[in-house]
Amino acid sequence: MATSKNHGLTYDVIVIGSGIAGALLACRLAKKKVRVLVLEAGGMPTEIAGRRTLVRNFAASASKGQDSPYADEIKISPYYSSPPTATAPQPTDEPPDPHYTYTDNSLPKFKSLYERLVGGSLWHWQGLVPRMVPNDFKMKTAFHFDDKLQPGVRNWPISYSDIAAYYRQSEYEMGVAGNESTDRALDKQFGLSEAESERGYPRKFRKGIPMSYLDKYLGKKLNGSVFEPKLPGHTLPKIPLRVTQIPQAKNAEPFDGRPACDGHGTCVPLCPTRAKYEALFHVEKAVSAGAELHANAVVTKLIFDSSGKVSEVKYTDWQKNEKSVRARIVVLAGGTLAEDGRTRTGSVFIVNVTSREAAEKFSAEEPFRKAGLFQSVKITRMRRGQWNPGAAPKTAEGN
Ligand SMILES: Cc1cc2nc3c(=O)[nH]c(=O)nc-3n(C[C@H](O)[C@H](O)[C@H](O)COP(=O)(O)OP(=O)(O)OC[C@H]3O[C@@H](n4cnc5c(N)ncnc54)[C@H](O)[C@@H]3O)c2cc1C
Ligand code: SF4
């Protein structure tokens, strides 16, 4: 039942996308008794039939690709075709999709996948979770990028210190195992304080996952040698090489109701025992804490109210029924796709406004643009033919 606090709406917050970003957020909000709805374009993987089915899919596949365990899930979707054509499709690695790029076509292609499933891309991740280092947030100034030669390179609007506390929290939630003393020694090289460097690893995970035979062998050969980076016109510091443990979101001991890692070695794409962290676990916790999950729900439109805030979300289920939900806050926690339905973009907003001036005003006030994160901003009119080429009138304009 709606309360006065949420202005008569069924939900306080709608989270679009159930990958790690959406799952962690939905779980935290639901535990605080916030009314959350998670909308997820993909379906629920075959957990019901048992994780074993997914492991068998992988074992039986010829390609042993990142997608192999989930192939059946993907193909039962009426949207599935190869290459995919409909809203929020699933990019695949079979065959390679030449259109899958994250930026404009003049730049090298970014070839990777995401999983359109409840739990998102953590269904196939490696579980490696080294933190970024302070210079990653200021690439332009730290590495002397030139505005003319490398116009796309930006400093981030936030710094390492701004997010150190969130690193700690997410490391605990995922159950990251890492060697704290090695991590601290590396952090010191980057000038980080003890407080900034503090990790959120659960107590028994602070020695990390033991090194493999290969790690130790490479360490014997490489430790003590030095890498000398070269950049014309600049003197860069030499980097001493040392083979270390990488922090991993894998249980060093039983944790959070899941077993310890016992070295199956199929972490990519799928851990048979749930020892490797997956976003699905926080989706499950969010639902137990009261969040609602609508799977097979492809969000197609965000409706802005007169104050310029998104107040309504329209989505289409796999039977092609259009539905609408409203909340005070809408969070986009999924990657965006361009009009062709398969090109991954930096950020596309489709706004329904009455004039170009209104669109420009919206764009100028958009927080990511204000922070200088976009390489370029292009405002263009949306033609009906772009939504539905088959039904578009056959005019030169196509609208
Ligand atoms: C092979 C591989 C290995 C990786 N290994 C690592 C690693 O070791 N360590 C690491 O830190 N990172 C790794 N990554 C990157 C990591 O997986 C991603 O950065 C992370 O999963 C992104 O999480 P997310 O929640 O932002 O998005 P996603 O997990 O992609 O979730 C987005 C969700 O939104 C849904 N969605 C999209 N559009 C819509 C829509 N219109 N309506 C409703 N729902 C929608 C999608 O179906 C999806 O479930 C790896 C990536 C790949 C491809
Ligand atoms: S149990 Fe196996 S698959 Fe799972 S995390 Fe450990 S090594 Fe990876």
| Pocket of ligand 2 contains residue 258 by CB under 6 Å | no
The alpha carbon of 116 and the centre of ligand 1 are apart by a number of angstroms equal to 9
| 72: three-class secondary structure by DSSP | helix
The pLDDT of residue 248 is 96
Place of tokens 């009261």: 290
* 358/112: higher pLDDT: 358
pLDDT(117) > 90: no
Tell me how far apart the terminal alpha carbons of the chain are, to the nearest angstrom: 43
* 68/274: higher pLDDT: 274
* 268/326: higher pLDDT: 326
Cβ-Cβ contacts under 8 Å for 24 (sequence gap 6 or more):
170, 173, 279, 282
User: Which residue's CA is the nearest one to ligand 1's atom 50?
Assistant: 125
What does the mean pLDDT of the chain come to? 80
Q: What is the mean pLDDT of residues 68-89?
A: 52
| 286: three-class secondary structure by DSSP | helix
Q: What is the mean pLDDT of residues 161-177?
A: 96
pLDDT(387) > 70: no
Please state the length of the chain. 399
Q: What are phi and psi of 272, to 5 degrees?
A: -70, -20
The pLDDT of residue 349 is 67
The alpha carbon of 124 and the centre of ligand 2 are apart by a number of angstroms equal to 12
The alpha carbon of 27 and the centre of ligand 2 are apart by a number of angstroms equal to 25
| Pocket of ligand 1 contains residue 160 by CB under 6 Å | no
The pLDDT of residue 247 is 96
Q: What is the mean pLDDT of residues 288-312?
A: 86
Q: Using 50, 70 and 90 to split pLDDT, how confident is the model at 14?
A: very high
Which secondary-structure segment (H or E) carries 297? Answer: strand 297-304
Q: Any idea where the domains of the chain sit in the sequence? A: 1-124+270-348, 356-399
Give percent of the chain with pLDDT exceeding 90.
Answer: 40
The alpha carbon of 205 and the centre of ligand 2 are apart by a number of angstroms equal to 15
Contact 295, 42 (CB under 8 A): yes
pLDDT(55) > 70: yes
What's the pLDDT tens digit per position in 329-347? 999 887 654 434 444 445 5
278: which 2 tokens?
């997956």
The pLDDT of residue 301 is 80
* 310/386: higher pLDDT: 310
Give percent of the chain with pLDDT exceeding 70.
Answer: 77
The alpha carbon of 270 and the centre of ligand 2 are apart by a number of angstroms equal to 8
Which secondary-structure segment (H or E) carries 140? Answer: helix 139-142
The pLDDT of residue 385 is 56
pLDDT(85) > 70: no
The third-level CATH classification (topology) of the domain covering 1-124+270-348 is: FAD/NAD(P)-binding domain (3.50.50)
Of the candidates 317, 348, 306, 313, the one whose C-alpha atom is nearest the C-alpha of residue 330 is 313
The pLDDT of residue 278 is 96
The pLDDT of residue 268 is 82
* Full DSSP string of 29-40: HHHTT--EEEE-
pLDDT(84) > 50: no
| 210: three-class secondary structure by DSSP | coil
Q: State the Cα–Cα distance between residues 8 and 211, nearest whole angstrom.
A: 55
User: Which residue's CA is the nearest one to ligand 1's atom 47?
Assistant: 116
Q: Out of 216-220, 347-351, 353-357, 391-395, give the one with best mean pLDDT.
A: 216-220
pLDDT(47) > 80: no
The pLDDT of residue 157 is 85
| 132: three-class secondary structure by DSSP | coil
CA Rg value for the chain: 23
| Pocket of ligand 1 contains residue 243 by CB under 6 Å | no
Q: Using 50, 70 and 90 to split pLDDT, how confident is the model at 259?
A: very high
The pLDDT of residue 379 is 85
| Pocket of ligand 2 contains residue 249 by CB under 6 Å | no
How many secondary structure helices (H) and strands (E) does the chain include?
A: 12, 8
* 268/23: higher pLDDT: 23
